[in-house]
Amino acid sequence: MLILMDQSWAILVGLAGGIGATGIGGFLTRGTMHKQVRGQAVIEHEHWLATLRLEAHSTYLQEVDRVLREGRRLWKRMVELKAANDANQSERDLADAANEMCGQIHAVVSAVTPNAERVKLLGPAKILPVVDSLQEALTAFDIESGTAFRAQGAPGWLVHFRGATYKIRQHQREFFELSSAVIQQAPDPRHKPQA
């Protein structure tokens, strides 16, 4: 009977050791799996955010480019109207055309603002000052277009127009360069998040 108890005790100790080892192994496996799942979630989130940023930055650049294209079109039109005015058109016709153009400038500049807000929301933080500078240049272009014509007529408006679009182009280039750097830092699929 003593042998039977020793064997039973050995079986119980072995069984308890096996259950304990299985529990410890399961716990360690669970921890490893949790880290892997969390790491995959971080990678997927970074990829999702990079995709949203790419889309937002591209849309924003397209909208700013649309403002510049519209600006070039209106500038050419004002040059033509000024030449016609110098020939025989009344100053009032030129002023009416300038007011209409200022309304068109306002419309295209206003369309950029929601995209700028989306870019600022998606970040990263280092791009915010560049977006703010570009938005300030666009707003100045919008507001000062009407003021320049009223103060200086067509010649002043044309000079203002050229200077304002130059500033916008500078800030657009700066945004493009920074945005490109941000987009190129898209997450590496081999990225190992730190726990």
Q: Please check the confidence at residue 193 and state whether its pLDDT lies above 60.
A: no
- Higher local confidence (pLDDT), 19 or 51: 51
Query: What pTM was computed for the model?
Result: 0.69
CA torsion angle 165 169 175 180 (round to 10): 150
Confidence of residue 164 (pLDDT cuts 50, 70, 90): confident
Confidence of residue 195 (pLDDT cuts 50, 70, 90): very low
Task: Determine what percent of the chain is predicted with pLDDT higher than 70.
Answer: 70
- Higher local confidence (pLDDT), 135 or 91: 135
Task: Kindly give, in sequence order, each residue whose CB lies less than 8 Å from that of residue 3, ignoring residues fewer than 6 positions away.
Answer: none
Q: Please check the confidence at residue 112 and state whether its pLDDT lies above 80.
A: yes
Confidence of residue 114 (pLDDT cuts 50, 70, 90): very high
Give the span between the Cα atoms of 187 and 38, in whole angstroms.
Answer: 15
Q: Please check the confidence at residue 11 and state whether its pLDDT lies above 70.
A: no
Quick one: average pLDDT of 135-140? 90
Phi-psi region of 89 (alpha: psi -120 to 50; beta: other; left: phi over 0): beta
Q: pLDDT by residue (tens digit) across 24-44?
A: 666 656 666 666 667 777 788
The most confident of 27-31, 137-141, 157-161, by mean pLDDT: 137-141
Distances, alpha carbon 183 to alpha carbons 62, 128, 179, in Å: 16, 15, 6
Residue 49, pLDDT score: 85
Give the span between the Cα atoms of 174 and 177, in whole angstroms.
Answer: 5
